[in-house]
Amino acid sequence: MTKEALYQQILAKQSYLCVGLDSDQEKIPSRFHSETDPVLAFNKFIIDQTADLCVAYKINTAFYESNGVAGWETMAKTLEYIPQNIYTIADAKRGDIGNTVHQYAKAFFKTLEFDSITVAPYMGKDSISPFLEYPNKWVILLALTSNPSSADFQFLNVDTNQTQLFEQVLKTSQEWTTDEHMMYVVGATQADMLQKIRTIVPDHFLLVPGVGAQGGSLQEVSQYGMNKQVGLLVNSSRGIIFSENPKESARKLQQEMAKYLEDYHKN
């Protein structure tokens, strides 16, 4: 999917919501347990409830890989069920080099045909380039995460100008490709850093997890992270899929987003 196509979806739906399919079999409602593939049945239900309200689905591959071959089959069938005009993310956080990373790229962009994949930048350009060889596919690079120990590395100063490591990741990675093929992960609980991030990557899309169950503020993320093409995919996983009414939970976020979009375009 191209950047323009994603932007048009956002405008059409007045939404920049990404629904995370972190479908833990132990947590899905009991009514799905009698199904041949409980997770697939649950995922189809969530997609049916939310497809008109979101512009992206993020499949956290760990919840599928942990179930072996059957889990991979569930992931593939879930991906096939997602409407073609909705952006898909393999939240796999891969990071390797050589022949290995070429196989990862093939697995997620050719065999499974995701639109994008999350990738760790620690090994540098060599671990990113093979993913960029696929037309209209995206790398979503981990930049600033919201976990408690993110400060172990991400905020370390890397030069005498007090440039922090996450800033250097943003600056250096822009040399590898354009904002048509690369996004960045920025945790919603780091919303106070979004203004600084936007000075470095003004035109890139940001994938922002952490709104909802993790306590991130949609208002702050929207206020400080939005750009001229919106530039945000805000993810909610547990807060939607395990809520009592997934459709209403998604609708509530979509309605908030529509308001922030209106306010932004007024200004």
Q: Which residues are within 8 A (CB) of 5 and not within 5 positions of it... i.e. 6 or more apart?
A: 85
Measured CA angle at 264 (ends 221, 212), to 5 deg: 25
Which residues lie below 8 Å from residue 208, measured CB to CB, with a gap of 6+? 185, 186, 187, 188, 216, 221, 225, 232, 233, 234, 235
Whole-angstrom distance, CA of residue 112 vs CA of residue 109 = 6
Q: In sequence order, what are the residues at sequence separation of 6 or more whose Cβ sits closer than 8 angstroms to the Cβ of residue 110?
A: 134
Q: Is 27 a catalytic residue?
A: no
Burial of 152 (0-12, 13-18, 19+ CB in 10 A): exposed
Residue 140's nearest CA partner among 206, 190, 82, 83 is 206
Q: Classify each residue of 17-43 as buried b or exposed e, where b means 16 or more C-beta atoms within 10 Å of its C-beta.
A: bbbbbbbebeebeeebeeeebbbbbbb
Cβ atoms < 10 Å from Cβ of 80:
10
Residue of 44, 93, 106, 196 marked catalytic: 93
**Contact residues for 71 (Cβ-Cβ < 8 A; gap 6+):** 39, 63, 64, 65
Number of other CB atoms surrounding residue 69 within 10 Å:
7
CA nearest to 241, candidates 56, 53, 42: 42
List, by residue number, the catalytic residues. Answer: 93
